[in-house]
Amino acid sequence: MKVSMFITCLSDALFPRVGEAMVRVLAKYGVRLDFPEIQTCCGQPAFNSGYWEEARASARTILDAFEESDFVIAPSGSCIGMIQHYPKLFENDPVQLERSRRLQGKSYEFTQFLVQVLGVTDVGAEFPHKVTYHPSCHGSRLLGVKDEPMELMKNVKGLEFVPLPFAEDCCGFGGTFAVKMADISGAMVAEKADHVKETEAEVLVGLDMACLMNIAGHLRYRNEPVRVMHLAELLAEGANLL
In total, the chain counts a number of residues equal to 242
CB atoms within 10 A of CB 32: 10
pLDDT for the residue 4:
98
pLDDT for the residue 179:
82
For 45, the domain range is 3-117
What CATH number should be reported for the domain holding residue 145?
Answer: 3.40.50
Measured CA to CA, the distance from residue 65 to residue 5 in angstroms comes to 10
Answer whether residue 122 is part of any domain: no
Q: 19-56: per-residue pLDDT in tens?
A: 999 999 999 999 999 999 999 999 999 999 999 999 99
- % of residues, the chain, pLDDT over 70: 100
pLDDT for the residue 177:
84
Q: What total of structural domains would you count in the chain?
A: 2
pLDDT for the residue 147:
96
Based on the fold, state whether residues 112 and 43 are members of the same structural domain. yes
Cβ-based neighbours of 188, under 8 Å, separated by 6 or more: 169, 170, 171, 172
Based on the fold, state whether residues 9 and 77 are members of the same structural domain. yes
Based on the fold, state whether residues 135 and 109 are members of the same structural domain. no
Based on the fold, state whether residues 161 and 89 are members of the same structural domain. no
Based on the fold, state whether residues 10 and 113 are members of the same structural domain. yes
Of 96, 117, 138, the one marking the end of a domain is: 117
Answer whether residue 123 is part of any domain: no
Q: In what order do the strands lie in the sheet with 227-230?
A: 160-161, 130-133, 203-206, 227-230
DSSP state of 164: P
Q: Contact, 5 vs 62, CB < 8 A?
A: no
Return the SS3 of 30. coil
Predicted TM-score of the model (pTM): 0.94
Measured CA to CA, the distance from residue 3 to residue 105 in angstroms comes to 13
Of 86, 117, 148, the one marking the end of a domain is: 117
